[in-house]
Structure 1
Amino acid sequence: MLCNLCPRRCNALRTDMVGEGYCRMPAAPVAARAALHMWEEPPISGARGSGTIFFSGCSLGCVFCQNEKISHQDFGRPVTVERLREICLELVAQGAHNINFVNPTHYAHVVRQVLEEPLPVPAVWNSGGYDRVETLRALEGRVSIYLPDFKYLDPKTAERYSAAPDYPQAARAAIREMVRQTGPCRFDESGLLLQGTVIRHLILPGQVNQAKAVMDWVSEEFPRGTVLFSLMSQYTPWGDLSRTPELNRRLRRGEMESAIAYMQNLGLPGFCQERTSAREEYTPPFDLTGL
């Protein structure tokens, strides 16, 4: 396939064995872990966990990525589409409240095939927010829950930290499309999310104004109660930050408190992560579990 799934639109050749695009991945799926995950937002993890499937490779280039073993170093195991469907059903049998495709942007064609026949639980699209509207439209009716990041509204910051100056424009368009597809959040009787969009933002060191700008956009763009907002404070210095030394520290308490207060003043419904989440052990082990 000649791939234009993500906003980079590489038009790169991806065969079942070889990937020449920015994501470096072949057309056939490569994954690093499939297991129940308890550390998503409460209405997604619930009591039994979200059935997460972590894809290898990435169409972004975030210098601070805590999943760099799979996103930058491409660790993972090739699996067939048929096996991927089996893995989804195995996770459901283990009690997963939903099936959570993590970093799926460059495997949108695979997710679409897996979901040709609906799963018995909601399907979650858990992406960095760097998605093409055209790609998302091909998933309409198959994905029940969208869980995108919204990292930046400033192109220069997006270029410095994720090598994607067009990220703000792409993410805004993608999130609008996600909300159009899902409509307002809808829950079951126990409070689990059945359908809707949850927008995440990871606070970065020295970037509280960026967090506030993102929250302003969400508040102005969507009527109250349409989406949920997840303000994340789990940032942990990771990888080679020599070119971005300003990121080589944890968040200060004042940065977190300022962002949380701003979210509360806006009246954004959603979640605020506790400071104790900023630990390396919250990154799952990428050891081919469940594949």
Structure 2
Amino acid sequence: MDQIDIVYLWVNGADPIWQRKRAQAQQRLNPDSLAQYGNVAGRYRDNGELRYNLRALERFFPDHGQIFIVTDGQRPEWLAEHEKVTLIDHADLIPAAARPVFDAGHIESYLHHIPNLSERFIYLNDDIFFGAPVKLADWFAADGLAVHFEPTASPTSDEIQKNETALVNAAVISRRWLGQQFATYQHIPQLCAHAPRAMLKSALWHLEEQAQTLFHAVRSTTFRSWSIPPIMSDLALRWMIQHDLARPQFSPALYISSCEPNAGEQFHALRQHFGQLPYFCINDTCDDCAGDDPRLGLVAEVLAHLLPTPSRYEVSVA
């Protein structure tokens, strides 16, 4: 059985060199093109999620393959040199004329270009964690890989909307494009969930050949644009379902929004059910809050409590 590699995108928004790149790029930004929450600090803030994500990965999926961390010339200071971890610089994937890039949708459109990536892999945002022992059959089964959707339908417009989230607009583009390509396409009205994304490298190469115009568009962005939604978080998943390479799942999962008034209750639920949750998401929705905001501290506090044991990927502390 082939290995299952793991791919993360990671950024340290506090890095002065990266901040200068962002500030220079913002000078050329058309504000009218910017997606909702497309350039807030919370999109780039590092609350230590990747460190704890790797702890969860080692605890719940110790037989994983290579770990690829895609980043813009950065390296977590706590990350050890390890044969199972490969840093992939944006320059290794993205043409020079398109860099720097601050849109995850643009960056992730190149994931299947990662050298030596396994055919079957799982793409994780660093704020999406495994929360229970991973059973590969739950993600890669004979009847297709699992695509997780939110349990309830989310009505969407026939057109993308400037004030809608990227996931909503991505679903609109998917419904339109897939409906044009396939007479048998049946659109699932639920949104794709904040979940680990099981992927097939060969399928993504095939999709890129079929959807060249969409890939060209998403690779033209610098910051997330409301008019150019991401591909990998919706279209790629629905395309694999259409080709019987994947199957939809509608199991509810724990989604924590760090700025919501009930975040404390959500974190309590996480503490109570940790070890039994196939996955969970802690989304930094505090946007442009100060770095010492107590809501951010709560994220690190809860993760440190749940995952206190360093992984083999961390620098040893004497």
Q: TM-score, normalised by structure 1?
A: 0.31
Determine which structure has greater relative contact order: mean sequence separation of CA pairs < 8 Å that are 6+ residues apart, divided by chain length. 2
Q: TM-score, normalised by structure 2?
A: 0.29
